[in-house]
Amino acid sequence: MEGNRGRSLRCDLLRKIREFTRAIVRDLSIGRSPIVLIDRFRVHCTNPHANCCCSSVLPNGKEILTLQRENHVHRLDVLLRVLLIVQQLLQENRHGSKRDIYYMHPSVFSEQSVVDRAINDICILMQCSRHNLNVVSVGNGLVMGWIRFLEGGRKFDCINHPNTTLLVLLTTF
């Protein structure tokens, strides 16, 4: 059962996401190129167990993203796609891995580091940790989610516990 603090934080993040996307849509609707300012930090939410807030570390300048530069257009596209996924995770109170997010649009994201950067950007914009976005990091050999399979004669069933990770030792030939 989720506590009042967790529910309040989730609602606050959903409000921030709505406000951010509305501002972009508003700018586009009046023919103005949206400008997204992202504080630059030397360290981004690297502790998966921390309840940190990116704003607690002083920023090291700002990055200005606009639609005037092609690489910014792609970065904003990725950021908005990942933000939509995060919004769905928060609304449904589910968790997803960075790898899950990558495989939703691998042709757009091109590599895992693109998703990682978008998640870091979202953490900075929303002033929260990755943990608060319901995004988890899953290492190699770990599975999580709505999956059931056999590997090396062993049955793995995550259906009843989709938010729990299981270690899968792959058999090699």
Domains defined along the chain, listed by start: 4-136 (1.10.10.10), 139-173 (no CATH)
pLDDT at residue 22, rounded to an integer: 97
Q: What percent of the chain has pLDDT over 90?
A: 54
Q: Answer whether residue 144 shows pLDDT above 70.
A: yes
Q: What is the mean pLDDT of the chain?
A: 84
Amino acid residing at 9 = L
Q: Answer whether residue 169 shows pLDDT above 70.
A: no
CA dist 12 and 40 (Å) reads: 23
Q: Answer whether residue 173 shows pLDDT above 50.
A: no
Q: Answer whether residue 165 shows pLDDT above 90.
A: no
When mean pLDDT is compared over 20-29, 137-146, 148-157, the highest value belongs to 20-29
CA dist 168 and 156 (Å) reads: 8
pLDDT at residue 116, rounded to an integer: 95
CA dist 10 and 147 (Å) reads: 26
109-133 pLDDT, tens digit per residue, is 999 999 999 999 999 999 999 999 9
- Residue 166's SS3 state is strand
Catalytic option among 43, 68, 69, 103: 103
Whether 102 is catalytic: no
